[in-house]
Amino acid sequence: MSLSLFDLSGRRALVTGSSQGIGFALAKGLADAGADIVLNGRAAGKLSEAADRLRESGAKVHELVFDVTDHQAVREAVDRFELEVGSIDILVNNAGMQHRTPLEDFPADAFERLLQTNIASVFHVGQAVARHMIGRGAGKIVNICSVQTALARPGIAPYTATKGAVANLTKGMATDWAQHGLQCNGLAPGYFETPLNQALVDDPEFSAWLAKRTPAGRWGKVEELVGTCIFLASDASSFVNGTTVFVDGGITASL
């Protein structure tokens, strides 16, 4: 009985920004737990390559190309998918970007891009999908936060602001939508080896600092995020709402 709580068979999961990195790893993990997957990205070719890799492992995969920062495009794509294909039962808001510059020199246009990509997209896609979930009285939304939801580092203050906002928007989603049967939670990765972090992974000085700063003593592997995502997407978390789970090797627990 307890294992069946984590079974996602018969459910469909949309993962934004899922052609690589954390998004792709989470999509594969949800597929392994039984879900049909809807991959999303802006580049159709890159998305098709990712979908083919998933299909090779036996997953049932749909491709949904849209820009998460375009409210109208998001709404039209989600509505069309729901009408022509079927329900989106699980949403993982993963799309995001980073820009590293000292705050006093941070370009205004880069700040605006971060706001749109990291926080406005969560609103756009979350609202479009939730409108259908509310009608069905059930749904799971997992918003990808960050260790920077709780901590700051030099050079990424605007990114930190967006990830703090994602956690608070998650609380707001839960507050508004729990009454309709939705569970909305955040998943906050620590430092993981991804294309977004490649420059830091390749920096021996930073990696040495991270190993000392993190109780686990190492970078995380993206596959280590899958279990928490499955939990938050499954019946196992039926009374978990508005919280953010940190998967960070202990970095937010230790000075």
Give the residue numbers annotated as catalytic, written as ranges.
159
d(CA 2, CA 234): 12
Cα–Cα distances in angstroms (integers) from residue 244 to residues 38, 59, 62, 171, in the given order: 23, 28, 28, 9
What are residue 183's DSSP bridge partners?
A: 140
d(CA 141, CA 81): 17
Question: What is the number of other CB atoms lying within 10 angstroms of the CB of residue 146?
Answer: 28
Instruction: Determine the angle formed by the axes of helices 44-56 and 21-32, rounding to 10 degrees.
Output: 30
Burial class (CB in 10 A: 0-12, 13-18, 19+), 188: buried
What does the block give as tokens for 42?
A: 């802006």
Query: How big is the CA angle at 99 (ends 108 and 24), to the nearest 5 degrees?
Result: 130
Q: Are strands 90-93 and 139-144 parallel, antiparallel or unpaired?
A: parallel
What does the block give as tokens for 184?
A: 């909305």
